[in-house]
A and B are shown apart, each in its own frame.
Chain A
Amino acid sequence: MSPTIDRVYFFGTCLIDVFYPGAGMAAITLLEREGLEVLFPQAQTCCGQPPYNSGYDDEARTIARQVIETFDLPIPIIVPSGSCAGMLRKHYPALMAGDPLEEKANQLATRVYELHEFLHRVLNITLEDQGKPTRVVMHTSCSARREMEVMDDGLSLLRQLGNVEVCEPENAETCCGFGGTFAVKMSDVSAAMVADKCAAVNATGASTLLSSDCGCLMNIHGALEHRNSDAMPAEHLAEFLLRRTSGDAS
């Protein structure tokens, strides 16, 4: 770990805020466990991706300005989602081109890390598995895979856990069909995609579904549950990593 990093920002993401706060707390605990001070600005809301992907750039820009101003200290910004991290790192510079905050947007982009990328590449953490043998299936989101290129970080951390057998679904690189508003606007196409993903996930025989993106998680798990009320549970990767390496491992 670089000796200069002792504080980081945490960008909670709106999905985690409302639907998966446990994943956010787990991520923060993982960071604090490494001796970091984690700042969570209460003024944060969303990264602006939903309107941006729908073509509402002005609305997205307004949010981006707020994010840039809220996360203004020159310290890393840790994001527990490939897709929101991608928005901040890859899309803000393009979105803010020509804006008075353009420079700051570019600067912010260099401080953004996906959580597992940061844990693995920057902090280089080691994990000691304390849980019983189990098999999990890991779904890497398209943005973690293609936009942020952090797929190996999540998998490497997971593979440090000695008692965990890690599987990937067949056609792992295929989108689960979430795509934000796509899942609602093109709901039947999205449903056809998630149906295939569910079949591939089930075929692994794993007992837990993991992902580092809550959008995919709520899509795939929601569809699994819709089919079968005792479908395998789903967890954000950070929650799983924490659970397996702290005393309350089960």
Chain B
Amino acid sequence: MSGFSPNPDQNFGVRIQEALGNEELRESFHGAMTFLREKRRQQFPDPDALDALRTRGAAIRERALAQLPDLLEQLEGQCQHNGIRVHWAEDAAEANEIITGIARKTGGKRVVKGKSMATEEIGLNTAFENAGFSCLESDMGEYIVQQAHETPSHIIMPAIHRNKASIARQFAEQIPDTPYTEDVDELIGIGRRVLRRAFADADIGISGVNFAIAETGTLCLVENEGNGRMSTTVPDTHIAVMGIEKVIEKLSDLPDLYRLLTRSATGQPITTYLNLISGPRKPDEIDGPRQVHLVLLDNGRSRIYADRQLRETLRCIRCGACMNHCPVYERLGGHAYGTVYPGPIGQVVMPQLLGLDKAGKLTQACSLNGACGEACPVKIPLPDLIRRLRHDGVSRTDSPVRGQGKQRKWIEATIWATWLSIHTHPRLYRLSTLMATRLRRLMPPLPRAWTRHRSPLRPAARTLHETLQQRERARQKESAREQ
């Protein structure tokens, strides 16, 4: 994967420290996330209407997933009928091979790419580089990130970790004849001029897919900048890449999902562009690509699909609302996770894609506060899934997720075993709490991890159990005396 770690658990702690120590980064994320949450809130003034819409969204996605194999077959048939060539890729390597293979056959060399997380997932940029193509990101955020040899830090706003000044410096250094300016409009203008030229020269355009409609064989692409429209219409060849879960049943399913996506992602009632792509240029048309390809990517998804509970992961429409609402993501930013998908959905998807031995630790970066699940437009129970993956990470029983049990540490398992024996023996429990209250001045304070940031906590002089027992005894004595 391009710049993303195949083993994000490694050095997760180090990346967390770095992120927490970076004041500028934290300010950027705090500002951006607060802004996005507020914009979303304004789009959903009526909580009942929001809940009804989310329920419909979840039902649409669930219905599609329930018939996934059939819908994919139907999609393939309809696409072919529309003149779109369909390819199936089992994993990242196969997808990259298919895509670079198609590109090679065109004889072209220059590739432009619209914003797409699926192509980030497979590391397509690196594959193109290795195959001798130049592949330019054409979404402004992706362009900035690519030019700086970085990875996206948010699935919707890839360059959200960057501020104006650093982008200004980057453009002045890397784009010929560019003066330093912090004027946002000018900066966008500078980037656009480069991209316009690239679009005009490109032989191949790559895009993602937000929704693919099985009924009509239509690929939907939701965007604001027009880079998606350009990447899919100007070059002679258009290759769309999508995860197999993105298929929906019918055209009439689209409005609700579109409404949910734009409002949840950026707090917009509608985006500047909604592209409905239904095939290559027809003989009597004057523009559009001459060939359109669709690459259907599995990359671990069918394994997720096989488990009833984990399947809920696949409802995701990649809106990013879960990260915008996650208090941990807000404080760490996307890079700390070291994964293509950061934040709550990343904590759920990545262990399933990479294995619990490689990405299981990510699930610890969660206080189970539930803000993500509450924001998710398709009601994915993200906290439940995070907890489930924690379980699979430490349990020895069967899990469809690779690396199951690999997060189990002897010391933690022992602590829980001891904890259990105390808490299932009421006498032992009362004895241990009694000791805690009697020896409270001698008790070792809570772990340093706690006291480094908080005053030490001391047990009360008497537990509630004891207080109530004494009260009961006093009452009994009282009534005995009365008799």
Residue contact B391 to A55, C-beta cutoff 8 Å: yes
Residue contact B366 to A223, C-beta cutoff 8 Å: no
Residue contact A25 to B464, C-beta cutoff 8 Å: yes
Q: List 28 A-B contacts (CB under 8 A).
A: A17-B433, A17-B464, A19-B459, A40-B464, A42-B430, A45-B424, A50-B419, A53-B368, A55-B387, A55-B395, A59-B417, A62-B420, A62-B424, A142-B367, A146-B370, A173-B371, A174-B327, A175-B327, A180-B367, A182-B364, A182-B368, A183-B367, A184-B446, A184-B449, A192-B26, A192-B331, A193-B328, A194-B454
Residue of A nearest to B390 (CB): A55
B394, CB-defined interface residue at 8 Å: yes
Interface size on B, as a range, is: 35 or more
A177, CB-defined interface residue at 8 Å: yes
Residue contact A222 to B394, C-beta cutoff 8 Å: no
Residue of A nearest to B360 (CB): A55
| Known interface pairs A188-B17, A192-B331, A225-B455; 7 further A-B residue pairs with C-beta atoms within 8 A, sorted by A's residue number | A18-B433, A53-B390, A55-B389, A171-B34, A191-B453, A194-B454, A222-B455
Residues on B with C-beta less than 8 A from A56 are 391, 394, 413, 416
Q: If the complex has contacts A46-B423, A146-B370, are A185 and B364 also in contact, measured as CB distance less than 8 A?
A: yes
B196, CB-defined interface residue at 8 Å: no
CB-CB contacts of B368-389 with A at 8 A, as 1s and 0s?
A: 1111011000000000100101
A192 CA / B450 CA spacing, docked (Å): 12
In angstroms, how far is the closest chain A Cβ from the Cβ of B5? 19
Q: Which of B16, B392, B463 contacts A18 (CB 8 A)?
A: B463
A194 CA / B451 CA spacing, docked (Å): 13
Residue contact B463 to A17, C-beta cutoff 8 Å: yes
Q: If the complex has contacts A54-B394, A146-B370, are A193 and B465 also in contact, measured as CB distance less than 8 A?
A: no
Interface size on A, as a range, is: 35 or more
Q: Which of B368, B393, B429, B452 contacts A187 (CB 8 A)?
A: B452
Q: Which of B328, B366, B412, B423 contacts A45 (CB 8 A)?
A: B423
Residue contact B450 to A179, C-beta cutoff 8 Å: no
Q: Which of B424, B465, B469 contacts A12 (CB 8 A)?
A: B465
Residue of A nearest to B363 (CB): A55
Residue of A nearest to B388 (CB): A55
Residues on A with C-beta less than 8 A from B465 are 12, 17, 40, 42
A142 CA / B374 CA spacing, docked (Å): 11
Residue contact B16 to A45, C-beta cutoff 8 Å: no
Residue contact A223 to B454, C-beta cutoff 8 Å: yes
Q: Which of B20, B413, B419 contacts A189 (CB 8 A)?
A: B20
Residue of A nearest to B448 (CB): A187
Interface of A is mostly: helix
Residue contact A186 to B364, C-beta cutoff 8 Å: yes
Residue contact A188 to B20, C-beta cutoff 8 Å: yes
B426, CB-defined interface residue at 8 Å: yes
Residue of B nearest to A194 (CB): B453
Q: If the complex has contacts A179-B366, A189-B365, are A16 and B452 also in contact, measured as CB distance less than 8 A?
A: no
A178, CB-defined interface residue at 8 Å: yes
Q: If the complex has contacts A175-B327, A226-B454, are A25 and B367 also in contact, measured as CB distance less than 8 A?
A: no
Residue of A nearest to B365 (CB): A186
Segment 38-87 of A: residues with Cβ below 8 Å from B: 40, 42-46, 48, 50-59, 62-63, 66
Residue contact A183 to B450, C-beta cutoff 8 Å: yes
Residue of A nearest to B374 (CB): A146
Residues on A with C-beta less than 8 A from B392 are 55
Residue contact A54 to B416, C-beta cutoff 8 Å: yes
A66 CA / B428 CA spacing, docked (Å): 14
B112, CB-defined interface residue at 8 Å: no
Residues on B with C-beta less than 8 A from A195 are 453
Interface of B is mostly: helix
The 5 closest A-B pairs by CB, nearest first: A179-B367, A222-B454, A55-B390, A175-B369, A187-B449
Q: If the complex has contacts A188-B16, A191-B452, A222-B454, are A142 and B426 also in contact, measured as CB distance less than 8 A?
A: no
In angstroms, how far is the closest chain B Cβ from the Cβ of A209? 14
A218 CA / B224 CA spacing, docked (Å): 46
Residue contact A66 to B424, C-beta cutoff 8 Å: yes
Segment 190-218 of A: residues with Cβ below 8 Å from B: 190-195, 218
A65 CA / B384 CA spacing, docked (Å): 21
Residue of A nearest to B456 (CB): A222
Residue of A nearest to B396 (CB): A58
A169, CB-defined interface residue at 8 Å: no
In angstroms, how far is the closest chain B Cβ from the Cβ of A19? 6
Residue contact B464 to A182, C-beta cutoff 8 Å: no
Residue of A nearest to B469 (CB): A42
Residues on A with C-beta less than 8 A from B395 are 55, 57-58
B479, CB-defined interface residue at 8 Å: no
Residue contact A20 to B460, C-beta cutoff 8 Å: yes
Segment 151-183 of A: residues with Cβ below 8 Å from B: 171, 173-175, 177-180, 182-183
Q: Which of A66, A174, A184 contacts B447 (CB 8 A)?
A: A184
A131, CB-defined interface residue at 8 Å: no
Residue contact A59 to B420, C-beta cutoff 8 Å: yes
Residue contact A184 to B450, C-beta cutoff 8 Å: yes
Residues on B with C-beta less than 8 A from A194 are 453-454
B212, CB-defined interface residue at 8 Å: no
Residues on A with C-beta less than 8 A from B439 are none
B122, CB-defined interface residue at 8 Å: no
In angstroms, how far is the closest chain A Cβ from the Cβ of B329? 10
Residues on A with C-beta less than 8 A from B422 are 45
A25 CA / B365 CA spacing, docked (Å): 35
A143, CB-defined interface residue at 8 Å: yes
In angstroms, how far is the closest chain A Cβ from the Cβ of B13? 9
Q: Which of B390, B430, B468 contacts A54 (CB 8 A)?
A: B390
Q: If the complex has contacts A45-B429, A222-B457, A225-B455, are A178 and B364 also in contact, measured as CB distance less than 8 A?
A: no
A70 CA / B1 CA spacing, docked (Å): 53
In angstroms, how far is the closest chain A Cβ from the Cβ of B276? 37
Residue contact B20 to A192, C-beta cutoff 8 Å: yes
In angstroms, how far is the closest chain B Cβ from the Cβ of A37? 12
In angstroms, how far is the closest chain A Cβ from the Cβ of B428? 9
Residue contact A187 to B450, C-beta cutoff 8 Å: yes
In angstroms, how far is the closest chain A Cβ from the Cβ of B427? 9
Residue contact B327 to A51, C-beta cutoff 8 Å: no
Residues on B with C-beta less than 8 A from A93 are none
B332, CB-defined interface residue at 8 Å: yes
In angstroms, how far is the closest chain A Cβ from the Cβ of B217? 39
Residue of B nearest to A43 (CB): B426
